[in-house]
Amino acid sequence: MQEMKSCLKEFVETVAQCMSKTVNLETRVLEAEAKVSALEKENSSIPGLKLHIASLEQQVNNHQSYFLRNEVEIIGLNEHRNENLLHITNIIAQRVGFELKPEDIDWVTRVGSLRSSGIEQRPRPVVLRFTRQVVRDDFLRHTKTRRNTTTTDIELEGPSRILYFNEHLSKLNRQLFREARLLSKEKGFKYCWIKNGKIKIRQDDGKPVRTISSSNDLCLLSRINSNAPDIV
C-alpha cells in the first residue's frame, strides 16, 4: 500500500512537471506569435514609410531647386590664383552678346574643393547667381547662340576649353539628369534637357515631353519601348 502511494505521488509530481513545462511552452509560443505579429505589422508599414520618406526627399529637392533658380553653372573656365571672376563674367557676357548690368549679379564664385595645380587638372565649376531668374534665363539663351565659346575666345590664359553654361542643379536633380541622359541615349531618345530645374525628355520631334522628377520616373523610362508610337 505504501509502495502504491509512493508511485502515485511520483506520478502526480511527473504530471505536474509536464503541466508546468507545457504551460511554459505555451507561454513561449504566445510570445513568439506576438513577436511575429509585431514584425508583420512593422513590415506592412514599411511601404508607407518609404513613400513618406520619398515625399519628404522630393519636398527638400523642390526647395533646393527653388533656391537655385537664379543660378548658372559654368564648366571649363580655367582657374588661376587671384582671378577676378566678376570681370571674367563681364567678358563672357560681351562675347555672347548679353547686356550685363552691375545690379544683375548677386555673386559669383568657384564651388567644390580646391584641386591641385597643373594644366591637365580640370578647373572647378563657377556658379554665377543673378538677382532675378528672368535675367538668368536671358543670359542662358544668349550662351546657347554661342555654344562653342572657348576660353581662348575670352582671352583667358591656359589651355583652350569649351565653356558650358547650365542651370545650377540640386544634388538629386544632377544625379537624375545624368541617369536620364544615359537612359535617353540607350532608348534612342532625341532630346534630354533641363528647363527651370526640371528634367525633360522627348522621344523625337512632335512627340510629347516627359518630365523626370524621381527615380521612379527613370524606372518607367527604362521600360519604355523606343519603337513605341507615342510616349505619354
Residues across the chain: 232
For 69-167, the fitting CATH number among 3.30.70.260, 3.20.10.10, 2.40.30.260, 3.30.70.1820 is 3.30.70.1820
pLDDT of residue 55: 80
pLDDT in tens, 167-186: 999 999 999 999 999 999 99
> Cell 513605341 sits at which residue?
228
What are the pLDDT digits (tens) for 7-21?
555 655 665 666 676
d(CA 142, CA 149): 11
3 band by pLDDT with thresholds 50, 70 and 90: low
pLDDT in tens, 186-218: 989 999 999 988 899 999 999 999 998 888 888
In angstroms, the CA 75 to CA 229 distance is: 37
In contact, 77 and 163? CB cutoff 8 Å: yes
Q: Average per-residue pLDDT in the chain? A: 84
Beta-ladder partners of 194: 199
Higher pLDDT, 2 or 147: 147
**Burial (CB count <10 Å: 0-12, 13-18, 19+), residue 140:** middle
| Adjacent-strand bridge partners of 167 | 72
% of the chain exceeding 90 in pLDDT: 49
Among 106-115, 122-131, 135-144, the range scoring the smallest mean pLDDT is: 106-115
CA–CA gap between residue 178 and residue 136 (Å, rounded): 22
Higher per-residue confidence, 87 vs 43: 87
